[in-house]
Chains A and B, each alone.
Chain A
Amino acid sequence: MLQDITMGLYIPGDSIAHRLDPRVKIILAVCYVIALICASDILSYGLAALTLAGAVTAAKIKPSMLLRGMRGFIVMIAFTAVLCAFMTPGASWVQWGWLSLSKEGIYKGAQVLLSFILFIAGTSWLTFTTSPLQLMEGMSKLLYPLRYIKVSPQEVALIMSISMRFVPIMAEESYRILNAQKARGAYIDSGNITQRVQAMVSLLAPLFIRAWQRSETLSTAMLCRCYQSGAERTGLRKMFMKRADYTALALMSAVLLIIIALPDYY
């Protein structure tokens, strides 16, 4: 259910991963995502998975937490993977009536499935180990070049970090609305598919109203704390790179290069 979405949550800790410079972590995540996009064979996925496993170990996060984060997306992922599998053209391998499945299709489906899972796990790793404010500060430093095209990097970073912060708030809010409607007999955990879909639609209207109300209060609260758009901000910590940061960057670049360099089998 929605309350199981752990994406965007921060788990405080003092692991090596938690202590990395936020800018470095963002770069790592970006490299990782690029690697996933480039990956096309089993070796590349294996390498990406290994990288993820290393990162998760360095963060001292229980793998069960990552799996939990996946639960909310599982239907969407499975659906996309199955769709991919059937839509990919190729010589028919299995045939059920007019439905045909090719070897290429199965391969494509598995690839989509793996990419999605690794993608969600990787981004969760970033938010699990980096608090929203650190993310925001790291992001605004990295986006500094935006200044030259007259866009405030801080503002972009703030918008991103607030949207992250909103994921759990909205999950909680939808849980509340869900319960209130369930209590009045909405078909949310019972009924047939049509009834459930209708019930979900009537969940959206109050959710949008609440999202709007809450974001308005949040922005008012920010104004009260002297937030000014476009103004220079300072942070609690100065960001500086340590040996661990350089090592992590070097390892990630190596992984990325290997994955890009690996020849495609198909």
Chain B
Amino acid sequence: MPDTESILRLNDVYHTYSYGTPWAKAALDGVSFQLRPEETVIVTGSNGSGKSTLLQHMNGLLKPERGQIYFKGQDIWQDKKNIRQVRFQIGIAFQFPEYQLFHKTVAEDIAFGPKNMGLTASQINERTEEALFFVGLEQKIKDYSPQRLSTGEKRRVSLAGIIAMQPKILLLDEPTVGLDPQGGQLIMERMRAYQQARGIALVIVTHDLENVGAVTDRVIMMKEGKIHREGQLSKILAGAPDDELPKPVITQLFQELSARGVPVNRGTMLVNEAAAQILDLYNKRKEKRA
């Protein structure tokens, strides 16, 4: 069924790892999912729930055992020869992508994808500079060895290597893990800015809802290879029990306040939103008294 609404659509996808061995494990157990252009979706869930497997299906790194994946209405596995073209248009950054940096210079590493796309040297150069700009790195580091950079910088170089392919969809697996809080925030700000500038779709696998949650339209929660909950983050936070999804501390506070009769939103998660609500109440009371 061709559709114009979604840029990517998964239809009842199944996947089993190590099929036929003692440690065979169903990783995806009938997942259907639609992604709209320019949308941001967060995928969360405990380790081993199938999040990363799902992500690798989205750009054709893994082939479903059963089910189809449509990119712009086309089944990506219909013609196996086209799978490279699909991968160029759906960029993916794995966990700790900096482990995979191996070229002599930053520029060479960023150019790896564009070179494989068959672009000319000047196009590649242009894209490298643009990608460095988007991840917030100075142009002069182009000739540095990646090994000289800090963890946060290395990660941004890895992301630049993917942005340089100018994908229509960007898939990020735990982009903030192992970074200090400001490093993590910086990455999220940059990715968000890039998404808006280019109007692409963004799918982020993460546990770090407090840092990443701010950018979200929709959250998918995976459990045992299935989509377990889906919807707005605040609604999921209000609905999911603690052992499934630990409530961010601000949400705990707001549920406590609400229990004490303070009229606040029980699904609040971010510090800014929380502060705005409390200040609003505080100012209203002050006016009333005055």
A touching B, CB within 8 angstroms: yes
Q: Which residues of A contact B (CB under 8 A)?
A: 6, 11, 64-65, 68, 176-177, 179-187, 189-190, 202, 205-206, 209-210, 213
With beta carbons under 8 angstroms apart, the residue of B80, B101, B161 that contacts A184 is B161
Question: Can you report 22 A-B residue pairs in the complex whose CB atoms are below 8 A from each other?
Answer: A6-B21, A65-B21, A68-B20, A68-B21, A176-B94, A176-B100, A177-B100, A181-B100, A182-B61, A183-B59, A184-B87, A184-B112, A184-B113, A184-B116, A184-B162, A185-B88, A185-B116, A186-B116, A187-B116, A206-B101, A206-B102, A210-B99
Query: For chain B, which range describes its interface: under 10, 10 to 19, 20 to 34, or 35 or more residues?
Result: 20 to 34
Contact of B241 with A by CB under 8 A? no
Once A65-B21, A180-B97, A184-B165 are accepted as A-B contacts, the answer to whether A190 and B92 lie under 8 Å apart by CB is: no
A210 proximity list for chain B (CB < 8 A): 99
With beta carbons under 8 angstroms apart, the residue of B59, B84, B162 that contacts A190 is B84
- CA of A181 to CA of B161, assembled, Å: 11
Contact of B288 with A by CB under 8 A? no
Q: Do A190 and B83 touch across chains, with their CB atoms under 8 A apart?
A: yes
Main SS of the interface on chain B? helix
Q: Do A185 and B84 touch across chains, with their CB atoms under 8 A apart?
A: yes
A68 proximity list for chain B (CB < 8 A): 20-21
- CA of A233 to CA of B61, assembled, Å: 45
Contact of B22 with A by CB under 8 A? yes
B67-110 contacts to A (CB < 8 Å): 80-81, 83-84, 87-88, 91-92, 94, 97, 99-102
A6 proximity list for chain B (CB < 8 A): 21
A213 proximity list for chain B (CB < 8 A): 99
Contact of B255 with A by CB under 8 A? no
Q: Do B61 and A185 touch across chains, with their CB atoms under 8 A apart?
A: no
In the complex formed, the residue of B with least CB distance to A184 is B113
Tally of A-B residue pairs with Cβ under 8 A?
60
In the complex formed, the residue of A with least CB distance to B20 is A64
Once A176-B94, A176-B100, A205-B102 are accepted as A-B contacts, the answer to whether A183 and B61 lie under 8 Å apart by CB is: yes
- CA of A264 to CA of B244, assembled, Å: 68
Starting from the known contacts A182-B87, A187-B84, 9 additional A-B residue pairs (CB-CB under 8 Å) come to A179-B94, A180-B100, A183-B61, A185-B113, A185-B165, A187-B116, A190-B84, A206-B100, A209-B102
Chain B, residues 117-160, CB within 8 Å of chain A (1/0): the string is 10000000000000000000000000000000000000000000
- CA of A184 to CA of B84, assembled, Å: 8
- CA of A183 to CA of B94, assembled, Å: 10
Most buried by B among A64, A184, A190, A209: A184
Q: Do A179 and B81 touch across chains, with their CB atoms under 8 A apart?
A: no
A202 proximity list for chain B (CB < 8 A): 102
- CA of A68 to CA of B83, assembled, Å: 27
In the complex formed, the residue of B with least CB distance to A13 is B22
Determine how close the nearest CB of chain B comes to the CB of A17; give it in whole angstroms.
15
Q: Do B91 and A183 touch across chains, with their CB atoms under 8 A apart?
A: yes
Q: Do A179 and B61 touch across chains, with their CB atoms under 8 A apart?
A: yes
B117 proximity list for chain A (CB < 8 A): 185
B101 proximity list for chain A (CB < 8 A): 206
A-B residue pairs, 4 tightest by C-beta: A185-B116, A206-B102, A184-B113, A180-B100
- CA of A11 to CA of B112, assembled, Å: 39
Once A11-B22, A65-B21, A206-B102 are accepted as A-B contacts, the answer to whether A183 and B87 lie under 8 Å apart by CB is: yes
Determine how close the nearest CB of chain B comes to the CB of A118; give it in whole angstroms.
22
In the complex formed, the residue of B with least CB distance to A12 is B22
- CA of A206 to CA of B104, assembled, Å: 11
B30-68 contacts to A (CB < 8 Å): 56, 59, 61
B88 proximity list for chain A (CB < 8 A): 185
B56 proximity list for chain A (CB < 8 A): 179
In the complex formed, the residue of A with least CB distance to B112 is A184
- CA of A176 to CA of B98, assembled, Å: 12
In the complex formed, the residue of A with least CB distance to B118 is A185
Determine how close the nearest CB of chain A comes to the CB of B15; give it in whole angstroms.
14
Determine how close the nearest CB of chain B comes to the CB of A59; give it in whole angstroms.
13
- CA of A93 to CA of B165, assembled, Å: 56
Determine how close the nearest CB of chain A comes to the CB of B67; give it in whole angstroms.
20
In the complex formed, the residue of A with least CB distance to B162 is A184
- CA of A179 to CA of B58, assembled, Å: 13
Q: Do B92 and A183 touch across chains, with their CB atoms under 8 A apart?
A: yes
Most buried by A among B80, B94, B100, B117: B100
- CA of A186 to CA of B84, assembled, Å: 8
A206 proximity list for chain B (CB < 8 A): 99-102
- CA of A183 to CA of B56, assembled, Å: 9
B22 proximity list for chain A (CB < 8 A): 11, 65
- CA of A64 to CA of B19, assembled, Å: 11
- CA of A206 to CA of B97, assembled, Å: 12
In the complex formed, the residue of B with least CB distance to A65 is B21
- CA of A185 to CA of B59, assembled, Å: 11
In the complex formed, the residue of B with least CB distance to A206 is B102
